[in-house]
Structure 1
């Protein structure tokens, strides 16, 4: 039971959190947390009892491994982003990729597939089981990292194509991991401070994963950069094997248990998923392709226009055609809209920050990949403190205020990088920004998840959390793409250090604008909540 501080006792029932990805488990939080002496009334109660026994019989060591393994989904997602970003120019030189616009695609393409496939992956977890999908996610991620390392053997320009292809497809691995790892956590923990802390720790793994991934990439680049991806693939395969033995299997919904494989495929809304994913990929691809090949290319305009036109088609399919839509639009309230705008602005600003901050360090200051990670390592400590703080205060001050603080952190961090002199001492603005940015990362994710959860009905909890993950990762990709366009249009070819700096700062000014938009939106959201509270007070 919850104590006066909202925490849970060691043997307490662990059930549905607001971030669960299964509507089948959303009913768990409505049951009492103590063990009932009455026999279960039906098969659904028997299923619930079995789920309870799995959670309650976890030893402290098993629970620690359970949480650590699921949090590793966030860890490896960010490691997979920064391990390439930190040695981007080493890979580019070896594979013959010198155009900055094409190099940025190695980062944006990965985040693109992470963001576009999450909604479909969350639905797969509902139908095939979270544990199964987590194992599949680790396996898929491992395979394509090994392929990325092997691209060095491709003849001619084939290495460029194979590496980009492998990077794009590897992003589907985290897209499978994130919603299903959160689904298992959500199906295990009850509402309260303990659940808040677990989800905050999940977010805290983002900066630490980024630093660890980038550090190992820097180390392996001293020997041979492909080992970055081969060893990462081996580690992912090991995590997949541990998942088989450590993770519990949460029963499917009663109505899904008797479905055949073909029937479960029919429940996936493949038509809506195909149209939606195609729209997001084409729109994003055009923005990320344009900086490298120029907006004067006709195919870029065509892809952008087709992508834009497919979005209303997706909405029509979801509203009028699909029997089981990926996104139930009738559940999207104004609260959801505010949260989506905040998350889009904040994480697009973060994507621009992380890409151009490292470019400034390596291209203008001449820092090595290892020294770059050494200068970034304070984000792990600051991120951990931010996560612990968020877990403690989010239930006290409310997720709306936490969201505002996170948007301010994104904006201030972007301002510091945009105004940073190219050869300034590290301990001035560079060090300060590594302390500030993690507060944006580790506060916005849990705040957005909880706001979305509170804004929709119990049966739409899975959609709410999946949507947050989609917005976060897709925004990183589209932010880098748009910033690349800004950079190439104002850097005069980047032939001198002054021109390079002008392009980097122009991109960072875009990040400042996006962060500011997030701050304004979060303030409007808080005002909306205050007006609602006053109306409820007056009615009572």
Structure 2
């Protein structure tokens, strides 16, 4: 996706530098929208046990509330960016934020779990229209010499979202505003979304790409079908007794991927605008990076959902206590992310990312020991050590990973590559959430039958953590294929300047 902008509206008068005088107001609007999306991903996790209790949702529906959002987001992310290039970034941004606000209202007033799941899928789809425009609007609005400052602010927003989401979700759930229980975690988006919609229509300057790639709707359908064929049976299989059709669907997902690859090759030959630029996979570091992003998203999907259920259902903690327990993790992620990019990666390259994977694995194993040792009597402060270790490890990975993966990608494909990186992160997250049935709920159910009571959740959490630790070791090995020194050279730096990433990596899935 190219991001070279042509101004298609009069806009406001330029300042002495030739830039739009209203650019900082526009920045505030698009950053608010990005913050809404980041918080919405994390705010839901802490409220899931309350939603399950109040609405009588099944375990499969609980998984779909989060996985549905991630799946819709991933499937439409690249298409959302291309629609902005073709029809205008401002137009798609406003459409996305308007749809996101409506979907949030539908989530907040959902009459049953099925409506909530459907509304979350719609919300994810609207986020895919909104979020890719954020950095594209920044590139179209700000001169090059100001973008470093802007991207620094964006990083701060990402860190703030990581800390704010779980706490805000916990507080809104705990306060039970107007007797609405969990619903304010979605309804809070309404005034913010409406304000962003009204103000954004006034201060954001329209821009398009002069030569945008064509849409690949067939590719979108095939990607979505492949993910659904894999995710649906994993999510629903346990509740349905692992029927034969589930295994048939999972096998069909492999066939659909093969069809997708053949179609994308044909699309490349025909008009040069495939959804997935397959030639990128000839770059070893990119192919390895895509694998790292996918399995990293998988780990995040498994950990955060099982962690929430372990604390609130297994240990019987309130949403607020669970949210506060996670604060050390979020702070550690933010601190390590800043240090890794500014200080460590320029000196040590990929070793920083590998150290992050091993550090996360160590934190996970400490958690395995502590949760088993203290059992149901474990205290929040006793969880601080493994969470801080895990957070530091995660911070060493998430901030520099995208640049490391992109550093050997040809400049003409930088935009497509960055969009694909963030897409597979969300797909991995959706897959991880679906695997919770296998690595967590199966274990809990088996141990419940043995009369263990709430202690069964400790066993389920142990199972999830051991899976996470094993996957993190695999990530460490995959990282050997990344460049030793991922810092971009002059050509790549220019490419990154011309082709913004379509989505920053999520700190919490």
State the TM bucket, normalised to the shorter chain. 0.7 to 0.9
Matched pairs, number: 471
Q: TM-score if structure 1 supplies the norm length?
A: 0.78
Is the contact between residue 221 and residue 228 of structure 1 (CA under 8 Å) also seen in structure 2? no
In 2, the alpha carbon distance for the partners of 1:81 and 1:436 equals 23
SS of aligned partner of 2:482? helix
Indicate the residue corresponding to 1:479 in structure 2: 432
- Point out the more displaced range, 402-411 or 224-233: 402-411
In 1, the alpha carbon distance for the partners of 2:78 and 2:52 equals 32
Q: How many Å apart are 1:193 and its aligned residue?
A: 5.7
1:484-499 aligned at under 5 Å gives the runs 484-495=437-448, 496-499=453-456
In 1, the alpha carbon distance for the partners of 2:12 and 2:428 equals 36
Indicate the residue corresponding to 2:320 in structure 1: 370
Q: TM-score if structure 2 supplies the norm length?
A: 0.82
Deviations 1:172-200 (A, max 9, x none): 12222332213233554648964763553
Indicate the residue corresponding to 2:230 in structure 1: 283
Indicate the residue corresponding to 1:388 in structure 2: 338
Is the contact between residue 343 and residue 444 of structure 1 (CA under 8 Å) also seen in structure 2? no
Q: How many Å apart are 1:476 and its aligned residue?
A: 1.4
1:195-344 aligned at under 5 Å gives the runs 197-198=152-153, 200-201=155-156, 203-221=158-176, 223-224=179-180, 225-250=182-207, 252-255=208-211, 267-295=214-242, 297-322=243-268, 323=271, 324-332=273-281, 333-344=283-294
Q: How many Å apart are 1:369 and its aligned residue?
A: 0.8
Matched, 1:444 2:390: no
Deviations 1:205-252 (A, max 9, x none): 4413423442343245363122332222332232333333343333x2
Q: How many Å apart are 1:447 and its aligned residue?
A: 1.9
Q: How many Å apart are 1:416 and its aligned residue?
A: 3.4
Q: How many Å apart are 1:312 and its aligned residue?
A: 1.0
Indicate the residue corresponding to 1:139 in structure 2: 98
In structure 2, the CA distance between the partners of 1:435 and 1:193, relative to structure 1 (3 Å rule), is farther
Q: How many Å apart are 1:339 and its aligned residue?
A: 1.0
Indicate the residue corresponding to 2:501 in structure 1: none
In structure 2, the CA distance between the partners of 1:529 and 1:166, relative to structure 1 (3 Å rule), is closer
Is the contact between residue 197 and residue 388 of structure 1 (CA under 8 Å) also seen in structure 2? no
Q: How many Å apart are 1:286 and its aligned residue?
A: 2.2
Indicate the residue corresponding to 2:476 in structure 1: 519
Is the contact between residue 26 and residue 203 of structure 2 (CA under 8 Å) also seen in structure 1? yes
Deviations 1:311-361 (A, max 9, x none): 111111111135211122113311101111222222221222211222222
Deviations 1:2-55 (A, max 9, x none): xxxxxxxxxxxxxxxxxxx52536xxxxxxxxxxxxxxxxxx8x99xx999689
SS of aligned partner of 2:381? coil
In structure 2, the CA distance between the partners of 1:124 and 1:529, relative to structure 1 (3 Å rule), is closer
In 2, the alpha carbon distance for the partners of 1:416 and 1:186 equals 43
In 2, the alpha carbon distance for the partners of 1:526 and 1:254 equals 33
Matched, 1:83 2:56: no
Q: How many Å apart are 1:277 and its aligned residue?
A: 2.1
Deviations 1:79-101 (A, max 9, x none): 2233322121221222222x434
In 1, the alpha carbon distance for the partners of 2:167 and 2:457 equals 28
Match of 2:89 among 115, 124, 130: 130
Indicate the residue corresponding to 1:505 in structure 2: 462
In structure 2, the CA distance between the partners of 1:492 and 1:288, relative to structure 1 (3 Å rule), is closer
In structure 2, the CA distance between the partners of 1:95 and 1:436, relative to structure 1 (3 Å rule), is same
In 2, the alpha carbon distance for the partners of 1:55 and 1:504 equals 58
SS of aligned partner of 2:316? coil
- Point out the more displaced range, 50-59 or 284-293: 50-59
In 2, the alpha carbon distance for the partners of 1:186 and 1:394 equals 27
In 2, the alpha carbon distance for the partners of 1:51 and 1:386 equals 40
In structure 2, the CA distance between the partners of 1:197 and 1:149, relative to structure 1 (3 Å rule), is closer
Is the contact between residue 101 and residue 293 of structure 1 (CA under 8 Å) also seen in structure 2? no
Q: How many Å apart are 1:304 and its aligned residue?
A: 1.9
Alpha-carbon RMSD across the aligned residues, in angstroms, is 3.3
Indicate the residue corresponding to 1:171 in structure 2: 124
Indicate the residue corresponding to 2:74 in structure 1: 115
In 1, the alpha carbon distance for the partners of 2:189 and 2:75 equals 23
Q: How many Å apart are 1:368 and its aligned residue?
A: 0.7
In 2, the alpha carbon distance for the partners of 1:393 and 1:484 equals 40
- Point out the more displaced range, 436-445 or 355-364: 436-445
Indicate the residue corresponding to 1:22 in structure 2: 2
Q: How many Å apart are 1:506 and its aligned residue?
A: 0.8
